């Protein structure tokens, strides 16, 4: 067995890619492990490294998709960045941005439910993240609280929620000589995702499209305010039936009224339709504005008297060069311009 591997885990202290030293194991799953690593030349630079051991039946497939998507997202905002990737005798690896606490962890520690201000801000962040993925021609197919995390403390993204873990993602476009087009849906598809959050269409084994990621967002946002009716169930068929029959008013009984229109828009979106991200953003943003919530407000798990830091400008709201906004000006993290672009044209 190589010196850097011990019982299908990497030894603490081993250097990977002649640059990254393993300093801590962060987690372990069915496909491999995640580690915190540091730059051997600058220990202040720390990253996350995903490792997939070749003994796994699907060895290489998950990380290959991860690297492919991270590479496409390199120019996007509020996403994890790929620093390096490679393949060794016993494992493949990808080094990426180290993120903060997952939404799943925050829900376990400070939940089960969050206030509406937190719910709406999480919703806008995730809607933006979902659109970023869709705009490069992929769908996530496994959105859930465990696959969402805050940016790392001290980083510019420390108050943004970022979508991660693209192992089950799928490209929904073809890129040929005659241009980019949507792939035709398969008549039947294998189950992909998590039964608690996936769409009814996935329960019926239909091909997932952009709209199905939005259904996962709907169930995640609903769960931030009340327990999902199927949260104690394991059987996929039973869960699918409950989703099929749950009333929108019950799903969002403790959420802003705008969520009813949000669900209505998503329900009317078909496989080939481009979701109306702009309209969905406007609904979440209106829920915030009408209740006078601010992006600088403490999140549900933060102390009420959290010392306010200067708000981070939205992607489309960065001050012009040489112009410094007043320090007491409240700046939104996102604007409508972040949601109305359509780079693919369909």
CA dist 166 and 147 (Å) reads 9
Structure tokens at 151: 């940016």
CB 209 within 8 A of CB 172: yes
Q: What is the largest CA-CA distance in the chain?
A: 61
Does residue 70 sit in helix, strand or coil?
helix
Does residue 145 sit in helix, strand or coil?
helix
Structure tokens at 150: 């805050």
Of 3, 39, 142, 276, the active-site residue reads 142
Terminal-to-terminal C-alpha distance of the chain: 50
Q: Give strand pairing partners of 28.
A: 33
Structure tokens at 34: 């995640």
CA dist 258 and 293 (Å) reads 15
Write the CA distances from 137 to 6, 131, 134, 170, 344, integer angstroms.
Answer: 38, 10, 5, 9, 8
Q: What length does the chain have? A: 346
Does residue 50 sit in helix, strand or coil?
strand
- Judge whether 142 counts as a catalytic residue: yes
Catalytic residues: 142
């Amino acid at each position: 067995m190589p010196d850097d591997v011990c019982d299908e885990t990497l030894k603490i202290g081993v250097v990977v890619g002649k640059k990254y030293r393993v300093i801590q194991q962060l987690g372990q799953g069915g496909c491999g492990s995640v580690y915190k690593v540091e730059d051997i030349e600058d220990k202040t630079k720390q990253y996350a490294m995903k490792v997939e051991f070749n003994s796994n039946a699907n060895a290489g497939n998950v990380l290959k998709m991860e690297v492919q998507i991270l590479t496409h997202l390199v120019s996007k905002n509020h996403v994890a960045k790929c620093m390096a990737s490679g393949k060794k005798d016993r494992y493949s690896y990808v080094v990426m941005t180290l993120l903060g606490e997952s939404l799943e962890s925050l829900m376990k520690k400070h939940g089960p439910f969050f206030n509406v201000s937190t719910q709406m801000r999480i919703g806008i962040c995730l809607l933006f993240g979902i659109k970023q993925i869709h705009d490069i021609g992929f769908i996530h197919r496994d959105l859930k609280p465990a696959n969402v995390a805050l940016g790392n403390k001290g980083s510019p993204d420390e108050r943004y929620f970022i979508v991660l873990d693209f192992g089950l993602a799928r490209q929904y476009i073809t890129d040929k000589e005659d241009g980019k087009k949507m792939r035709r849906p398969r008549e039947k598809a294998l189950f992909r995702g998590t039964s608690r959050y996936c769409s009814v269409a996935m329960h019926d084994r239909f091909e997932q499209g952009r709209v199905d990621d939005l259904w996962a967002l709907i169930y995640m946002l609903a769960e931030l305010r009340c327990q999902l009716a199927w949260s104690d169930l394991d059987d996929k068929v039973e869960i699918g039936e409950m989703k099929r029959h749950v009333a929108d008013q019950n799903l969002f009984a403790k959420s802003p009224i705008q969520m009813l229109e949000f669900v209505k828009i998503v329900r009317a979106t078909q496989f080939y339709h481009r979701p109306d991200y702009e309209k969905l953003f406007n609904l979440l943003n209106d829920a915030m504005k009408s209740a006078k919530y601010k992006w600088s407000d403490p999140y549900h798990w933060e102390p009420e008297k959290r010392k306010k830091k200067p708000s981070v400008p939205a992607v489309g709201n960065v001050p012009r060069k040489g112009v410094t906004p007043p320090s007491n000006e409240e700046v939104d993290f996102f604007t409508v311009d972040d949601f109305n672009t359509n780079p693919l044209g369909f």
